[in-house]
Amino acid sequence: MKKLFILFLMSTSVVVTVQAQDAIKHATSTASTTGFNVKSLTTSIMNKLVPALTITDDQKPGVTDAISGFLVQKSKILPLKQSDPPTYSKKQSSLFNTLKSKLGSVLTGNQFTKFLAMKPKKSDTSNALWNLFF
């Protein structure tokens, strides 16, 4: 009986430990996803793009809509970044191509070239533009 009780305690400990690890993993992924604020990122990105590309008042709504729409779609695929990186990369690439297409119809050729040249280094996550390119 004593051995049975010890076995029961050990198996319960294992189950509790495994569940605690799953809870930590879930909390971490939720926190990283929650940190993706589309409105705030759109504002930060526009604050960089408007002066750098000399975006006119007529162009601002189109650029803002394109950026915001891209970020909304990206927020939907962010969980894949951890769970399925190849699928995330493929979808991110597709979304970015759609963004380029939309921006290409709003920006002039020179502005569009400057935009592509603004791509930050992959390690520069503090740059708001990083969220567009990666």
Q: What is the pLDDT of residues 59-112, one digit of tens each?
A: 999 999 999 999 999 999 999 999 999 999 999 999 999 999 999 999 999 999
pLDDT at 36: 82
pLDDT band at 39 (very low <50, low <70, confident <90, very high): very high
- Scored b (16 or more CB within 10 A) or e, 2-16 reads eeeeeeeeeeeeeee
**To the nearest whole percent, how much of the chain has pLDDT over 70?**
74
Average pLDDT of the chain is 84
The predicted model scores a pTM of: 0.71
**Dist CA 123 CA 5 (whole Å):** 52
Task: Using alpha carbons, select from 48, 46, 34, 35 the residue that is nearest to residue 70.
Answer: 46
Q: Which amino acid is at 122?
A: K
